[in-house]
Amino acid sequence: MPIALYPGTFDPITFGHIDIAVRATKFFTRVIAVIAENPDKRHLFPANERFVMVKEAFRGVPKIEVIRYPGLIVDCLREHNASVLIRGLRALSDFDYEFQMAFTNRTMLAGAETVFLMPSAKYVYLNSTMVKEIARLGGDVGPFVPECVRKRLRKKFSAGLRR
């Protein structure tokens, strides 16, 4: 079985992300969650903090490794001797972007494949933007994120940060 990369910003990681990664371990020798580092994007959490949260979220899941990567995902595939990218598809609206990315990556690296997994039904609606908005407005994000993320969101927004 090949090695797969599961790239994302994970800002923050949600139970939907975790669901996809854990289910992917059934099909791959190892799944590497890749924390994307894009200095042009405005993230709520810096890459080092996202890395810590994702590591905590996958603690105890033996086939999942977590790394940070600042470059092109096809270069990360090469460096880790991986051939597959895992991407989650929640709705038809995700498909167009993901389709473009899959073909772009395959053009840049022959043999690179993208495998799309649908989240479990209870996570179809869930995304990081929604979680951040709930937290910003003082709502309970416990049903959507691991405890380590819930605590960091509470701390971030109780400090008066309102984005």
Catalytic position from the list 50, 87, 128, 152: 128
Dig out the tokens for 144 from the structure.
Answer: 């959507």
* Dihedral sign from CA coordinates of 42, 54, 6, 142: negative
Which residue in the block uniquely carries the two structure tokens 């969650």?
A: 33
Catalytic position from the list 23, 30, 63, 90: 90
41 flagged as catalytic? yes
Distances (CA, A) of 73 to 13, 99, 102, 104, 130: 19, 15, 11, 11, 26
43 flagged as catalytic? no
80 flagged as catalytic? no
Which residue in the block uniquely carries the two structure tokens 């490794």?
A: 65
17 flagged as catalytic? yes
Catalytic position from the list 41, 42, 162, 163: 41
* Dihedral sign from CA coordinates of 129, 135, 138, 142: positive
Distances (CA, A) of 55 to 28, 32, 35, 83, 161: 19, 11, 10, 22, 24
Point out which residues pair with 3 in neighbouring strands.
30
Catalytic position from the list 17, 50, 150, 156: 17
Kindly list the catalytic residues. 17, 41, 90, 128
